[in-house]
Structure 1
């Protein structure tokens, strides 16, 4: 639906940013107030309580989720405002900088929260996660068992993931890691050197035999986009490890403590050395101390080594003392963690030196004179370090070595299996694969680009690591690695965690697939829950991959996806048009979630990222669910501040409500009859208002939804034509489908008079009911809707030509709505009359003859007559759209016959108590039905096949009038006889004058008076 020029627009703040912040002021101030009250550590969120109340704990979690969503929304609002203020010149770079700032702010929220929770965790449980406590305990247990041969099971067969999925801390840290990865990928994408830049670099720094090996590595990273990406991912994984629950210093401190204290770590294999010395002292004089000398351990189960060089255990096949074995395993575990966390080589070398373990630094290649802080790659030696890496690979395959020792050399060699053996998480497995891929791709690049620096023939003598993902299947390395880990039983469970799935989509550059699949999953779920209108399943949808379903079931993950999409969209990262509708479903799903937790004020911000048509649909559906008037007005202000036109949104919401009600919007077939009367003889002229025709006290939810949708037009500024188009359409469809109660509810909640006053001021300069206008006195007695059919009120100055034109236009646009409401009110009056009849049935006989009772009957009948008056003229005949004339004729056919018959029955019933003068109304009804200008009334009876009922009812009314007159004459005769019997003088019976019994059109009852003289 295209927007069109309108006389006025929705009221908005001159400064949208100011308006937006004002609307959210209360909720956002509460965020800051709670945060400030808990101390300076967390500027955004309050600390969690440490009490034991489970209800409070659950509430705290819920509050944190809401605060987080509010914080994200505020940042997005601020970002959008920054974009609006950017100068047009150089706007592309400025928009990029503003979007990166948004990304950093989103990351900061998660980082600050994770840091606060980490501090609380340390205060409560110490610096160690459960996973790390288990790992350190296993190091000690293995040493005590005296086994130095590591198994190849994943994490010693313990839990696969190092993160507790139910831990707030782990979730926040995982989210912080996710935002950091997105930032790294964005930087990688936008800072990628083009081919010209690469060529310029090659020409400026040509490679020759004198080029340092480090320069080769730099050139490789500049010229190979895939290698640079792997390096960035490895650095991100190292930061993730550093930011975990347990820091490196705490690990070393605990290992030293378990090994006997920090002092023992500077003396190497202290206990084994003392045992060897003791054995030598106990030997007989002159005996040699050799390989075959037996030095037993305390447990006598195994023999100790007889020499103290580093490779003695593997060379001799013997063991260290128990405590030294624990020390050895602890050292290798610490070194593995140092490498896994990306500790600079200088720090690793210093750490080893402080513990008199310089030989370990040398064996790792740390001691070489080379700037190694930017990479762990050893470039010295033959073939730019390739030979040395093969030696490390051989060391990683030594089965007698400790598994952490093998893992350390596996990292240096680019092996996967030896490193995976000590992994405890999906991230550890990713690190093993990407590390291996990077080292292998470097050697491949050397061999292809600079074969003189790579002695392939010599290196063939030594095996190199075989990569699990080393195959050419047309997929990128990242996709192959993720696919392997998703299928691997050791990592599959963690790989399917929502935020891991999101991270994997960044790694594989398939975020658009993720966002689309989440949207599809949400649509399928919405369809099952009856929300298909809000989140529809597209025609011929893609197949849903179960891998993405967990993301759609975790609203924290959906929030991350939505905000990541905002960044993607703004930065212009590739998104296929065919997947756009699916991604829109993801945003719509998040909006629906905000609706479900009643955070309506956040919704307009995210609606702005939908196309205009989808905006109108989604907001229209969401608005109809709002019931609180204050929140409705707040939402209207936010929608305006977001720059979204509200008229089409309002139209979409009542269209949605109508669809939910099952109403066909395109072509509706009207009911044949709306039953109001039941057959009745006697005083009701053959047709009495049915006892089953009652008004419900409460509407069904689907009808209530439609009524609420229309109330929006009354509560907020909207255009006259759009308002009355919606009202007319809804009332018409409700009446056509027989949903009278809903139509009446709309009529009562949004009466025409008040609606006209609310919407007329922008056009006429004042509030007014446009059908209340001055008219000649004789016209005010009885008026048809052709002339207004509304009570007139005196006016001051006559309207100007412009105002008369506007009045005609406004009347034309709203007349049908008024008449549909008049129909509803008339039928309601009939239902109330039946209730009045039922009250009469409960009265005593003597109560029916009092003046007060007769007066009340007259008043009730007058109320009914006033309500019925509009139906007795040209109701629903001023139809501008020729295609709708037949439809409104069907409405008249369905409702008017029963309504008029019921009205005539009510008149006849009332005459029994008030006298024959009341039957003037029945005679007037007969005249109206016979009048040529009211042919549509007769046609309604003819079309409905009810003309016989009408004639019969009018005839029975005449008979009832005759009976009433006869009864009154008999009553007078009886009174006269009583006077004569009492000796009183007989009264002179005067001729009754028909002039006192004429209706407004001159009708008289004299012909039915049996006492009237001829």
Structure 2
């Protein structure tokens, strides 16, 4: 899949730019501010680049394959390699002045990706299959002369779990080597107390050795000092506490003689055993260890660490030499175990070293201070235990040639998870677990991914609602969640790691049960990361991660975000990316509408009684405008934020396809019905202007659905005289179009042809026509009010009359659809029928009364012939059953009769106009000289008398 992700940007965050710009350029603090903010900017750039690099890597990972597909596993390992390299890049570019905790956090992330990669390799189908083959063949290939290296290799090949433990142990050793200070720094305090000076240590317990030599000189002995020498315990003692000193300097003399070393030598001995521990802990090679102790003339310590056994070829420098040598010297393991539990040995690091050598994790407990120290002791013990089990099978094979199949021990998963849980509450490690990525580290080594991701998903919801960041993307969760999970859910680097690891493991089939039972909570992790991308303005990455959600979740998550995208180019880009990632754009468009108008939809669904609808007309104020008139400023003003959001939500329907056009028509109709019911005429004008049926349908399906089986009418060419002729009248008549069967509702019709799509748009079109009529009436009224207010200003009057003629033509055109006998008469169900009928019976009379007022006003200010149109309007209403029923049902018939009575009286009071030139009234019926009249102002009209 080709990537459309943008290149990383390096623009500074707006808040940084604003802070810098507020400082006076001449101020000496200008450069200081730059120096302070530059590291923050560098960190932001590195994080931003890392985020985009992760997205690019994920974009290239194709997941539509079975979890058993070998190519999927190969690509997964490649993906993890990329993640690791991206993290390593950030590690190498971490600024020198970044905090140590931040540097450690970045390093741990890099290391964790490598660990996950190696552990997945151990669990790959190929590795598991090879292990099964090895279990049936490798043991049979061994004999009594097989080397320790051959035994070790056969053991690892036959035991996948042992491969995992060896991998984790190696990782822990590398971590200690990379993240711990040098050994001489760790031992600095002890070395100072041992009084050895700087540089290479002096060999052995030199202060005790001096005391022994002094005793030999005093006693004139040429042979070693005997611990049983009379009166030796009186003179050969430490000055500080009078404890007897050892008489000989072999490594176990203190235990054997129950004596002590000089204080300086004891500090040296502690440093030496601490060094042995650190060497094992850091996985140093045999060559490094040997060189270290040879330089200090204590090679015997190297022999202890290596374990008693041959120094075989290819494994000579392996950190596992101490383990594989147990195959040929089991007695060494027993001896180390005895020493580890010997109460005479007080040094914790000496015990810890013996514990590591024999695989006794408990013996190393006192020397383990961090989580990784504990894990090292645990996995070291587990690996030795499994190896010893293999050695037993090998020895059994030597005595029983028929035993050729090896069955590994079951994994110690429960034991490891028990420690992972304990570490979160243990006072010694509780604070460490709270540091970023530590919980994830425990999860990786314990393989408890289901629990971890579920806990993180629940925590993501709680954090979102507690911080009000991302709460629009998920439901609130009230389940118990650990404090550590909530802390990790607030760290964006942790969230990013969680998301990318979860998506990878899901693709490999590791999380099937969790997704089956807790899909929503699991997907909260992805939604949380999407929310962070939204806050960071990385909208081009949203469709990629949204495509990883379930089909039901995608519209809700994208819908909650894209409602706020207003730029047309950005919308186009989002749609392009959604199509690239196989996201149903139509479903997202409906999701945007549904989330933005949820309360509105529920209100219409549960409506029990239609409220009193507002009027668009008010009584006229003067004799010349005694008719009802449109309410001043009916559709002008600012829309509320809620209404703006609602209108914005349906603008996304320009991207739907023909199959989902019915959803668009239904949604837009919902807004029209709601605004009409609430009398929200300002929002209606915005909806009319921004979501017109013709424009939306052209954009979505490539057809203007204002017209079904007919081409759009073309404007006839009219000469200037005809256009300006006040008396040119085109008689009105309702449009007569082919109607569909009355029993079929528009939205239920199948098909994507022009006629079917236009038919589905019928309710939308009719509601739009109703609002368009109101809009044109409002525009005309605004002009009429302006003319009335400036009757004494000829310039304004002339300008207003020109505008009025144009507005009058618009009114007549927009009113024509309202005369259709089936206008707003198609209902999807009884509820819609009640609502549409109520809207029709209220607003149709309102519009006709307002239209009559327009013609009445035009008869005063433009041409007397428009009074004739008033009389024709009365005929149309009388002959149209829908219109008549609307007036009757709305209780407006009395107002209609009074309006037409005013029209008749106005026409009768007009007299013929005198002048040199008289225009002829042009109608389809020829000249009507009888209508050549002039307006004659009369006294006040008695409206009551006309009722």
Give CA deviations for 1:884-903 in whole Å, capped at 9, x if unaligned.
55543333234333333334
Flag the 1:852–1:589 CA change in 2: closer, same or farther, 3 A.
closer
Q: Which residue of 2 aligns with 1:746?
A: 687
Corresponding position: 1:552 with 2:489: yes
Is the partner of 2:770 in helix, strand or coil?
helix
Aligned runs of 1:226-305 on 2, under 5 Å?
226-244=161-179, 246=181, 263-274=199-210, 290-293=232-235, 305=245
Flag the 1:312–1:389 CA change in 2: closer, same or farther, 3 A.
closer
Distance 1:50 1:331 in 2: 48
Q: 1:92 aligns with which of 69, 73, 80?
A: 69
Aligned runs of 1:119-198 on 2, under 5 Å?
121=96, 167-190=101-124, 191-192=127-128, 197=133
Q: 1:479 aligns with which of 417, 420, 424?
A: 417
Distance 1:1011 1:901 in 2: 23
Flag the 1:1011–1:910 CA change in 2: closer, same or farther, 3 A.
closer
TM-score by length of 2: 0.77
Distance 1:439 1:212 in 2: 17
CA RMSD of aligned residues (A): 5.0
Instruction: For residue 949 of structure 1, report the CA deviation from its aligned partner.
Output: 3.6
Corresponding position: 1:646 with 2:582: no
Q: Which residue of 2 aligns with 1:975?
A: none
Instruction: For residue 865 of structure 1, report the CA deviation from its aligned partner.
Output: 4.1
Q: Which residue of 2 aligns with 1:695?
A: 636
Larger RCO of the pair (alpha carbons < 8 Å, separation 6+): 1
Q: Which residue of 1 aligns with 2:518?
A: 579
Give CA deviations for 1:816-863 in whole Å, capped at 9, x if unaligned.
433332322332334445544654575475669955555555554444
Corresponding position: 1:948 with 2:867: no
Flag the 1:332–1:607 CA change in 2: closer, same or farther, 3 A.
same
Flag the 1:77–1:59 CA change in 2: closer, same or farther, 3 A.
same
Flag the 1:280–1:657 CA change in 2: closer, same or farther, 3 A.
same
Flag the 1:633–1:783 CA change in 2: closer, same or farther, 3 A.
farther
Q: Which residue of 2 aligns with 1:902?
A: 850
Instruction: For residue 70 of structure 1, report the CA deviation from its aligned partner.
Output: 0.6
User: Which structure 2 residue ranges, 5 or more long, are not aligned?
Assistant: 13-30, 223-228, 400-409, 719-727, 740-751, 939-947
Flag the 1:95–1:725 CA change in 2: closer, same or farther, 3 A.
closer
Distance 1:241 1:418 in 2: 20
Instruction: For residue 750 of structure 1, report the CA deviation from its aligned partner.
Output: 3.4
Corresponding position: 1:567 with 2:504: yes
CA contact (8 A) 2:50 2:90 kept: no
Distance 1:1011 1:560 in 2: 84
Give CA deviations for 1:871-928 in whole Å, capped at 9, x if unaligned.
3445744748576555433332343333333344454455555575443443333222
Q: Which residue of 1 aligns with 2:276?
A: 335
Q: 2:877 aligns with which of 920, 924, 929?
A: 929
Corresponding position: 1:405 with 2:350: yes
Instruction: For residue 784 of structure 1, report the CA deviation from its aligned partner.
Output: 4.1
CA contact (8 A) 2:463 2:490 kept: no
Q: Which residue of 2 aligns with 1:771?
A: 712
Flag the 1:353–1:664 CA change in 2: closer, same or farther, 3 A.
farther
Give CA deviations for 1:603-653 in whole Å, capped at 9, x if unaligned.
222233334444344334433332233322222222233344433333332
Q: 1:518 aligns with which of 456, 468, 477?
A: 456
Q: 2:673 aligns with which of 727, 735, 738?
A: 735
Distance 2:331 2:867 in 1: 116
Q: Which residue of 2 aligns with 1:630?
A: 569
Corresponding position: 1:59 with 2:59: no
Distance 1:219 1:207 in 2: 12
CA contact (8 A) 2:423 2:430 kept: yes
Distance 2:845 2:899 in 1: 11
Distance 2:929 2:822 in 1: 24
Is the partner of 2:628 in helix, strand or coil?
strand
Distance 2:448 2:47 in 1: 27
Q: Which residue of 1 aligns with 2:764?
A: 817
Distance 1:202 1:353 in 2: 38
Instruction: For residue 334 of structure 1, report the CA deviation from its aligned partner.
Output: 2.5
Is the partner of 1:167 in helix, strand or coil?
helix
Is the partner of 2:510 in helix, strand or coil?
coil
Q: Which residue of 2 aligns with 1:827?
A: 774
Distance 1:999 1:422 in 2: 112
Give CA deviations for 1:111-170 in whole Å, capped at 9, x if unaligned.
2322443xx54xx69xxxxxxxxxxxxxxxxxxxxxxxxxxxxxxxxxxxxxx7x83321
Distance 1:730 1:1000 in 2: 45
Instruction: For residue 244 of structure 1, report the CA deviation from its aligned partner.
Output: 1.6
Distance 2:697 2:729 in 1: 23
Distance 1:283 1:835 in 2: 127
TM-score by length of 1: 0.72
Is the partner of 2:637 in helix, strand or coil?
coil
Flag the 1:309–1:907 CA change in 2: closer, same or farther, 3 A.
same
CA contact (8 A) 2:558 2:588 kept: yes
Count of residues in Structure 1 that have an aligned counterpart in Structure 2:
862
Q: Which residue of 1 aligns with 2:748?
A: none
CA contact (8 A) 1:786 1:874 kept: no
